Amino acid sequence: QVQPVESGGGLVQPGGSLRLSCAASGIAFSIYTTNWYRQAPGKQRERVATITASGTTNYADPVKGRFTISRDNAKNTVYLQINSLKPEDTGVYYCNPIRGWRDYWGQGTQVTVSS
């Protein structure tokens, strides 16, 4: 059973930064497309960033210029660097590696932006 594990969330003040990590045994992120999603309280889960197997990245409009997705193949870890945090970035952030019918979700990591 593949279970991505997210980490790095926490409570941060507006304008602050966090780096989220996603690790998973049993898969190689280098051959997966990996998405980061977030779910705010009372809202639907939304995709915020994607990195393909070839390294192409894509971002949702609300996070462009503030979020950066990256991957370290040697560590088999995908990261989400979040800068200039806003209260509306609050939510649970999930890592979602996909390859064909393989579609895995982690338990998420909580990000709370508040003064």
Helical segments of the chain, H only: none
Segment 62-80 shows an average pLDDT of 97
The mean pLDDT value of the chain amounts to 96
Binned at pLDDT 50, 70 and 90, residue 43 comes out as very high
* Predicted local distance difference test score (pLDDT) of residue 57: 98
- For the record, the structure tokens of 31 come out as 């051959």
Segment 56-77 shows an average pLDDT of 97
Q: HSE-up of 92 (CA within 13 Å, CB side)?
A: 14
Report the alpha-carbon distance of residue 103 to residue 51 in Å, rounded. Answer: 15
The residues pairing with 10 across neighbouring beta strands, listed in sequence order, are 111
- For the record, the structure tokens of 89 come out as 């970035």
- pLDDT tens string 17-35: 999 999 998 999 999 999 9
